[in-house]
A and B are shown apart, each in its own frame.
Chain A
Amino acid sequence: QKEVEQNSGPLSVPEGAIASLNCTYSDRGSQSFFWYRQYSGKSPELIMFIYSNGDKEDGRFTAQLNKASQYVSLLIRDSQPSDSATYLCAVNNMNRDDKIIFGKGTRLHILP
């Protein structure tokens, strides 16, 4: 079992709709959870981090964490064409080491 799993997509969402991206992880001791956005040919950029159960909102983005289910998600409201990118989920267990483990990413395509 991979440590961080994501559906590779592509996920196609109409402009203005809510895009929902999901991620599961295997290390129950994971404490920090990150969502990175990566445009084609570019490097990843951090858009959200969360380390408490529940929801965390930042503008159009909401990260949701459920440690019992080992599940983290990212919601993008009012999706824009500029949101089209690959979204990488990443987790860290600082009790184990300082590594951040990335998933393969989900390709999101916003349909104009």
Chain B
Amino acid sequence: GAGVSQTPSNKVTEKGKYVELRCDPISGHTALYWYRQSLGQGPEFLIYFQGTGAADDSGLPNDRFFAVRPEGSVSTLKIQRTERGDSAVYLCASSLTISGHSYNEQFFGPGTRLTVL
């Protein structure tokens, strides 16, 4: 597709369940970012992939959160033992990282709205 896609668009789950959120970046984009956005807040950085490896996972709030990008394209954010506080919109973005450039525009997907009951 032309843009970043995310599935599902909405996910409702019960406390304690496991969820997977998927991101399909723009074809050819090497960098992929996950953010979490709560109501009235800006996007909060979670993790960044450059290719297949997690270049920076310092934003993951705890060990219940994990993300993979096994083939350097699609990424899955995994949340174990979900808690009500995990409810938010999870945004994915991708960019065409060019070595040496100080600016790389991030293109955002539509997000997945996660609700933990």
Contacts and interface: CB of A to CB of B under 8 A. Distances in A.
Interface of A: 4, 8, 31-32, 42-46, 49, 51, 88, 90, 94, 97-105
Interface in B84-117: 91, 97, 102-103, 105-111
Interface residues on B, range: 20 to 34
Given A97-B56, A100-B45, A102-B35, 20 more contacts: A44-B43, A45-B108, A46-B106, A46-B107, A49-B105, A88-B43, A90-B42, A97-B58, A98-B31, A98-B50, A98-B56, A99-B56, A99-B58, A102-B42, A102-B44, A102-B45, A103-B42, A104-B40, A104-B41, A105-B42
Given A42-B110, A98-B56, A99-B48, A88 B105 contact: no
B61 interface: no
A32 B106 contact: no
23 contacts: A32-B102, A42-B110, A43-B91, A43-B108, A43-B111, A45-B108, A46-B106, A46-B107, A51-B102, A90-B42, A94-B102, A97-B58, A98-B31, A98-B48, A98-B50, A98-B97, A99-B45, A99-B48, A102-B43, A103-B42, A104-B40, A104-B42, A105-B41
